Structure 1
Amino acid sequence: MEKYIIVMSLDIWKPHYLKIVARTITLFKSVIDWSIDLDDKEKVLRVTAEKDVSTKLSAYLGMFGAECRVLEVFKDPDDNRAHGRGYSADLFLV
């Protein structure tokens, strides 16, 4: 199974935006896992999914008031490796 690692920058500065992000992500059945680095200035959202949902996810988040932009999408065909395609997993510790 192929996996996609989607890295996005979020402009969330109010606590209720976290609920918006969580509820929006649940609309995407192909999402396996996700996390937000709230300590990072850009509030990095990292999503692991079975397909590239970056464009739709970005549009939905924007519609619900959570501004975001896609930083990178990594394709990882190895089911056993969620990390390791051009970035450090340490950047995404929450």
Structure 2
Amino acid sequence: MSRYVIILSPVIDTPIDLRHVFEVIYTFSNILEWSVDLDDCDKILRVVCSEDIGQELVKSMALVGISSSVLEVFDENGISIIQIVH
């Protein structure tokens, strides 16, 4: 099974924002694991999944009012397959 690691930067300012991120994550059955670094000023979200769903995550988060962007996507070999510079 292929594994992708998607690094996102969601805007999480409140506990309600974090709850919305949780709700979006749980709608994707192909997410194997995920974590969010609340200590980091950018609240980096790391998602491991079986396919590259970065843009779908961004769109789903936008539907619940969470602004987010994909920073990078790594394939199963740890090679970056997308890098967006802001």
* Fold match (TM-score > 0.5): yes
Aligned-CA RMSD value? 1.5
Q: Tell me the SS of whatever aligns to 1:76.
A: coil
Runs of 4+ off more than 6 Å? none
**1:1-94 correspondence to structure 2 within 5 Å:** 1-76=1-76, 85=78
Which residue identity does 1:41 align to in structure 2?
C
TM-score if structure 2 supplies the norm length?
A: 0.87
- Residue 66 of structure 1 and its aligned partner are, at CA, apart by 1.1
**Percentage of matched positions with identical amino acids:** 35
Alignment coverage as a number of residue pairs: 80
The unaligned stretches of length 5 or more in structure 1 are 78-84, 88-94
TM-score if structure 1 supplies the norm length?
A: 0.80
- Residue 10 of structure 1 and its aligned partner are, at CA, apart by 1.2
Name 1:82's counterpart in structure 2: none
- Residue 61 of structure 1 and its aligned partner are, at CA, apart by 0.3
The unaligned stretches of length 5 or more in structure 2 are 81-86
